[in-house]
Each structure stands twice: as C-alpha cells, then as structure tokens.
C-alpha cells in the first residue's frame, strides 16, 4: 500500500465518484469548542464512502476477470457500493448480507441489481460463505476493507480532505474517522501522510466495539466479543484487518469511543446544523468531536460522516429524542 | 438586471458562499421517468440559498452605509442569510419575523447575532414595520426578493447549475425552482438565459399559493388570498415582485403546483435517496419532478432544493408517513 495506489485509484474514480464538499457550521464550532470541518460521504453515490472502494476494486480488475462477476459480504454499505460499481461496469454482483441488516440497505442492494444472499450474523461465518460461493461460480471476492484496491479507493477521501482543508487554511488537525475494519481509516491515513503530514488520523468506534482502539493500545489485533447488538451496524466488524491494522498502528493517534446515545445526538446535530443525513455508524466521528472535546487537540478538527443509510423509523427516534437540543 | 450583475455577485461571493454540488440518484431517476439533477441549496451556509442574496446585497453597499447596519423582513431563511452575512461583515442586523415562523428559524437568527422583531403575520404589514424601523435607525433595508443585488446573488445558483449540468453533458432541461417572491427563480432564469439558453426555468409553488403560476397565465401580478396556513412557510409570499415578475414573464415556462403531502413525500425521498434535509417549501420542486412527470418535458430535469430549515417534529412526521415508500 502506498500513495501512488491511492492516486491511481483517484484517477480511475474521476467522473464516477462524487467529490463531496467540506461543510461547516458556526453552531457546531460553538458546541465543539474549535472549528469543525465535516466531510459528508453520506452524499457519495449509494449514500456512503464505500462506492469509492467498490469502484476502485472493480476498475482495477482485468476485463476478463471482471466479466465473470464479483461477490462481496457486507452489512449494507459495501454491498450497495459494490452493487452500483458492478452495474455501471455491466457485470453481475452477488452480495452476502446479514439477515438483520437495515431493511433499506437490503432493499437498495437488490434494487441496484445485485443478487442478495442473507445469512445469520450470530451463527454463520460470512467469510466462509463468501469464499465458497466465489469458488463455485468463479466470482472475484471484493473484501470490505482488507483489500489493497479497496483501501486505495477509500483513501481518495483523504486526498480530497487534504486539498479542501488547505483551501480553508487548515494544515494541522485531528482527523476523526468512523472506523469498522479500518479501510477508510487506513486509506485516509496513508493519503494524509503524503499530502498533509501535520494531520493526525484517529479512529472512532462505538462503545463495546472498540477493537481498533484497543489494538492500537496493545499493539496487536484485538477482537470484539460480538458483532451485533448496537445501532452502529455499519462499523461492527470483529477485528481490524491484517492489512489495515499495521497502517493504523504506524500512522494513527489514539482511538476514541462514543456511546449509542452520542451517535444519535450527533445524527440530530447533522440534521439541524448541516442538513445532511447521517446513519448511526456514520455519526460517531462527529459525536466524538462534539461530546469528547477534551480528548481532541488543536484549533481545528476534521470529521468524516461515513454514511447516511438509516431507516426512517430510527432517524425519527433520534429527532424525537434530541431535536431542538443541539 | 443583467448577467454582468450576477457575475459580479459571483465574484463577491467567492470564498464566502458554498458551491453546492449537483446530486443524483438512480432511484429518483426511476421515480421521475427521466434523469433528475438536484441542486441542494440546503447545504448552503445557514441552510438555504438566501445567504447568497444576503451576502451579495451587503457586499455591494458602501462601507459607510453598511456600517450603520441593515434590516430585513423574512419568515426565516432570508433572516438567517442576512444575519450571517452581517455578522461576517462586522455590522448589525435587525430582522423582522412573523411570530409563527418555525422555532428553529427564529432561534438561529438570534444565535447568528441579529436583533429579532416579531410581528403578527395575519394582522400587521411587515413592509410598513420594516420601512419605519429603517428610517428611525438609518438602517439599510435588504428586501427578501425584489432587490437587484439580492436577485443577482440568488442568480449565482444558476451560474453553478449551468456549469455543473454541462459537466454532466446536459444542456437542455426543465429547471424547476421553488418559488416564493421570485428572487431565486428570476435570478436563475437570467443566469441560464446567458449560460445555458436551451434550459427552461419553471417556478414551483404550493397549492393555494400559486400567485406566480397564475400571474404567468394572466400576464399581470396576481395575489394570494392569504400568506399563512401552509407548511411551505418559506415560499408563502403575497405576490410576485415588481422586479422579479417581468423577468419571469419574459424567461420562464409554465408554473407547477404541488400539494402539501407531495412536498412531505419529496422531503422523505430527499432523505432516503440523496441524504439531504429539505424543508417543505424547499422540496416543492423535487415534488413536481417526482409526482407531476407528465407536465415536464425532456430527458433531464434539474431541481433546486432551496432550503433545509425544518423543525425535527415536522420532519419526523414526514418520515413516519412516507418512510420506506419512496
């Protein structure tokens, strides 16, 4: 993994992925006690940054390999990203999704033309299911994060952050990244190492699923006790990746951990102050910026909103509980 | 009013207003029966396009005049746009708002440092109140739409639409604009006349408040029976402006009219498919594209989402009624 791979991915994504803006609000600055810059990847195609990695991986395959189709396993955002990237490349996609994934994510993945295979998150091993299907049908497996071309695609977010922050006169900041397996976090960290070396990337995770934060402390890959039972479904991975963890270990600052209620409150703040839709797992970095200000350093903080694929009912719950209080 | 005024406003806005992206979704394309391109001005500073006009007007004043302060009357979006533009210019702002404006809009305007004066929309004449206060304190009145520098500022949205549509290969389309007094509509129409002459701008209004649509038919300024009693608070103006109407008459295609329920449904579609927050009045153009497809022509339609300043309770109501149905 290196910056050249990220820049090559950026070339392949040009004209296909959306260059998301960098947003801000004086109200959020007041709440956070410093300037807050928000990279809303919820505005990316399919509603999350995952389209970047999906497109990067598919576009890096040879035409012959790609034509046989691809397969992916995902709680929903990688699913949609790969499904749309496959459709736009004119190839088929099989997506293995947990049966308890948000309804919208399953429906959207099907609507994007993919064949969806559901599995039980508590009893079955999605990796094993994916490997078997891939071998049977000669499909290329597009892993959700521990895959160099996927990391390169996610890293294009970091290239944009470096450019957009520089336009705002910001060269030094903590960069908070919503973190599951570490694809986005490690990709952004590699991009910023090359393009904005005074920035410090920090993974943000939900309470009880802080495998990356703990791994960064212990220096080895730590696992979560479970991968369900939290509203931040997008980032409930069992452990950091074999490829992503060494990158994070080399480049990232200490991890941050937020509660589910803080994520819901940050979703409401994004609604009221930025007018964008964040899903719970996509709101954890903003939550850390707003509600853990004492653990952050510097006059500026940059946060990713990694996705916005949330069911209407859960979003309404957040607004009902926290509306008017941000 | 001419294109040079809009281009000059664009120069003054550079580095201050946000260049909003042009969004799309395959799901919306399917619903609308054609490609839908969305200009989300809800992502503009203060959550609506009104910051463009406010900044344009304030930045066009002489420093001496500006230093005495400004005054504006507004249901809330122009209020916030002028308040922030005044604060960033370091001058004071008095804003006259109807007492039944959405709570968030009143609170935000105060939080942006403006002095807010409330009036009764059904019994008092906001123009008279504004004129009196302006004379007493030597404030410069920044009208919400019938003011050339305000129209020039809103017209910068049209310059961006022309550029962004061209990047997508779109030169011919109906351009649907959420329309109150016609500041945004006439500004965009002037910009596109110069930069994308094959586009046709069409105002969109809520049922019962279709003064512009009726004026375009009759050829003279028609009035609404009332200016309250509809959730689309941002665009409930009594009649088109003396300056805006002749521009719309010369350049715009027939007006479109949508119901309140269609606006709520379009808000839900923007939430689910674009991940942006639209207020009811800001969703009427999208509603027309999605639910009045037979009244629109061409393979592409461009719509503005003019603002996103909606209270959490009303947004939840929309999601509860229409979530999962877009």
ipTM for the predicted complex comes to: 0.95
Determine which one of A56, A75, A186, A306 is catalytic. Answer: A306
> Looking at the partner chain, which of B103, B272, B277 has a beta carbon nearest the beta carbon of A275?
B277
**Set of chain A residues whose Cβ sits within 8 Å of the Cβ of B326:** none
- Region B138-160 average pLDDT: 96
pLDDT in tens, A228-274: 889 998 888 899 999 999 999 999 999 999 999 999 999 999 999 99
What does the pLDDT read at residue A324?
Answer: 86
Active site annotation includes A316: no
User: Which chain A residues touch B if contact means CB-CB below 8 Å?
Assistant: 18-21, 23, 26-27, 40, 42-43, 47, 84, 103-104, 108, 111-112, 268, 271-272, 274-277, 308, 311-313, 315-316, 319-320, 322-324
Q: To probe the interface with A, which of B107, B275, B277 has the most A CB atoms within 10 Å?
A: B275
Q: Is the pLDDT of residue B98 over 90?
A: no
Determine which one of A39, A48, A50, A186 is catalytic. Answer: A50
- Region A203-215 average pLDDT: 97
**Set of chain B residues whose Cβ sits within 8 Å of the Cβ of A315:** 271, 319
Query: What is the average pLDDT score of chain B?
Result: 95
What does the pLDDT read at residue A273?
Answer: 96
What does the pLDDT read at residue A69?
Answer: 96
Q: Is the pLDDT of residue A325 over 90?
A: no
What does the pLDDT read at residue B324?
Answer: 86
- Region A129-158 average pLDDT: 94
3-state secondary structure chain A: CCHHHHHHHHHHHCCCCCCCCCECCHHHHHHHCCEEEEEEHHHCHHHECHHHHHHHHHHHCCHHHHHCCEEEECCCHHHHHHHHHHHHHCCCEEEEEECCCCHHHHHHHHHCCCEEEEECCCCCCHHHHHHHHHHHHCCEECCCCCCHHHHHHHHHHHHHHHHHHHHCCCCCCEEEEECCCCHHHHHHHHHHHHHCCCCEEEEEEECCCCHHHHHHHHCCCCCCCCCCCCCCHHHCCCCCCCCHHHHHHHHCCCCEEECHHHHHHHHHHHHHHHCECCCHHHCHHHHHHHHCHHHCCCCEEEEEECECCCCHHHHHHHHHHHCCCC
**Set of chain A residues whose Cβ sits within 8 Å of the Cβ of B323:** 311-313, 316
What does the pLDDT read at residue A126?
Answer: 79
Of all residues in chain B, the one with the smallest CA distance to A306 is B275
What does the pLDDT read at residue A60?
Answer: 98
Of all residues in chain A, the one with the smallest CA distance to B310 is A272
**Set of chain B residues whose Cβ sits within 8 Å of the Cβ of A16:** none
**More confident of the two residues A28 and B121:** A28
Domains and CATH numbers, chain A: 3-49+148-322 (3.40.50.1100), 50-141 (3.40.50.1100)
Minimal CA separation from A128 to chain B, in Å: 32
- Mention every residue, 6+ apart, whose C-beta is less than 8 A from residue B278: B40, B42, B266, B267, B270, B271, B286, B305, B307, B308, B310
Residue A102: pLDDT band (50, 70, 90) is confident
**Set of chain A residues whose Cβ sits within 8 Å of the Cβ of B322:** 312
**More confident of the two residues B22 and A131:** B22
**Contact across the interface for B316 and A311, Cβ inside 8 Å:** no
Q: Is the pLDDT of residue A75 over 80?
A: no
Of all residues in chain B, the one with the smallest CA distance to A274 is B43
- Mention every residue, 6+ apart, whose C-beta is less than 8 A from residue B292: B256, B258
**Contact across the interface for A43 and B112, Cβ inside 8 Å:** no
Do B114 and B95 touch, CB atoms closer than 8 A?
yes
Residue B193: pLDDT band (50, 70, 90) is very high
**More confident of the two residues A324 and B162:** B162
**Set of chain B residues whose Cβ sits within 8 Å of the Cβ of A42:** 275
**Set of chain B residues whose Cβ sits within 8 Å of the Cβ of A18:** 21, 23
User: Which chain B residues touch A if contact means CB-CB below 8 Å?
Assistant: 18-21, 23, 26-27, 40, 42-43, 47, 84, 103-104, 108, 111-112, 268, 271-272, 274-277, 308, 311-313, 315-316, 319-320, 322-324
- Weakest mean pLDDT among A96-110, A280-294, B41-55, B218-232: A96-110
- Region B166-186 average pLDDT: 97
Please state, in angstroms and rounded to a whole number, the distance separating the CA atoms of residues A222 and A262.
Answer: 24
- Region B183-188 average pLDDT: 98
- Region B151-165 average pLDDT: 98
**More confident of the two residues A123 and B160:** B160
What does the pLDDT read at residue A101?
Answer: 83
- Region A10-38 average pLDDT: 96
**More confident of the two residues B59 and B225:** B59
Interface contacts (A, B; CB < 8 Å): 89
Residue A154: pLDDT band (50, 70, 90) is very high
Active site annotation includes A306: yes
What percent of chain B is predicted at pLDDT more than 90?
86
- List Cα–Cα distances, B102 to A83, A103, A317, B233, B309, in angstroms: 40, 32, 20, 8, 8
- Weakest mean pLDDT among A162-176, B191-205, B210-224, B230-244: B230-244
**Contact across the interface for B275 and A43, Cβ inside 8 Å:** yes
The pTM (predicted TM-score) of the whole model is 0.95
- Region A96-108 average pLDDT: 87
What does the pLDDT read at residue A227?
Answer: 81
**Contact across the interface for A275 and B43, Cβ inside 8 Å:** yes
How many CA atoms, within 13 angstroms, populate the side-chain half-sphere of residue B152? 22
Which string of b and e fits A135-159 if b means at least 16 CB within 10 Å?
A: eeeebbbbbbbbbbbbbbbbbbbbb
> Looking at the partner chain, which of B104, B272, B277 has a beta carbon nearest the beta carbon of A276?
B277
Alpha carbon B90 to its chain centroid, in Å, reads 25
What does the pLDDT read at residue A56?
Answer: 98
In 3D space, the residue among A107, A117, A161 whose CA is nearest the CA of residue A304 turns out to be A161
What are A76's two structure tokens?
Answer: 């929903």
Q: CA torsion sign, B4 to B9 to B10 to B15? A: positive
**More confident of the two residues A285 and B73:** A285
What does the pLDDT read at residue A122?
Answer: 84
- Region B107-130 average pLDDT: 89
pLDDT in tens, A25-66: 999 999 999 999 999 999 999 999 999 999 999 999 999 999
What does the pLDDT read at residue A121?
Answer: 80
Of all residues in chain B, the one with the smallest CA distance to A19 is B21
What does the pLDDT read at residue B73?
Answer: 87
What percent of chain A is predicted at pLDDT more than 90?
86
Q: Is the pLDDT of residue B75 over 80?
A: no
Q: Is the pLDDT of residue B195 over 80?
A: yes
What does the pLDDT read at residue B5?
Answer: 98
């Amino acid at each position: 993994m290196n910056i050249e791979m990220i820049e090559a991915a950026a070339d392949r994504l040009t004209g296909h992925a959306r260059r998301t803006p960098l947003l801000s609000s004086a109200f959020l600055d007041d709440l956070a006690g410093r300037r807050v810059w928000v990279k809303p990847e919820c505005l990316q195609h399919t509603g999350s940054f995952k389209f970047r990695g999906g497109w990067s991986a598919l576009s890096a395959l040879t035409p012959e390999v790609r034509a046989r189709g691809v397969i992916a396993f995902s709680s929903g955002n990688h699913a949609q990203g790969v499904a749309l990237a496959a459709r736009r490349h004119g190839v088929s996609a099989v997506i293995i999704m947990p049966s308890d994934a948000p309804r919208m994510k399953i429906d959207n993945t099907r609507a994007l033309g993919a064949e969806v295979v559901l599995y039980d998150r508590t009893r079955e091993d999605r990796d094993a299911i994916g490997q078997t299907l891939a071998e049977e049908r000669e499909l290329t497996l597009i892993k959700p994060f521990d895959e160099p071309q996927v990391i390169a695609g996610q890293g294009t977010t970091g290239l944009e952050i470096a450019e957009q922050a520089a336009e705002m006169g910001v060269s030094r900041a903590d960069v908070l990244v919503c973190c599951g397996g570490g694809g986005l976090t490690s990709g952004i960290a590699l991009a910023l190492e090359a393009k904005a070396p005074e920035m410090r990337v920090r993974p943000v995770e939900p309470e009880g699923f802080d495998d990356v934060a703990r791994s960064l402390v212990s220096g080895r890959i730590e696992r979560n006790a479970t991968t369900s039972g939290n509203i931040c479904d997008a980032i409930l991975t069992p452990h950091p990746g074999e490829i992503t963890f060494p990158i994070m270990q080399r480049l990232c600052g200490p991890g941050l951990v937020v509660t589910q209620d803080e994520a819901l409150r940050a979703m409401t703040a994004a609604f009221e102050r930025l007018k964008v839709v964040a899903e719970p797992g996509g709101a954890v970095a903003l939550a850390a910026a707003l509600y853990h200000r004492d653990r952050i350093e510097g006059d500026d903080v940059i946060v990713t909103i990694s996705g916005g694929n949330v069911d209407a009912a859960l979003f309404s719950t957040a607004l009902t509980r926290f509306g008017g209080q941000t």
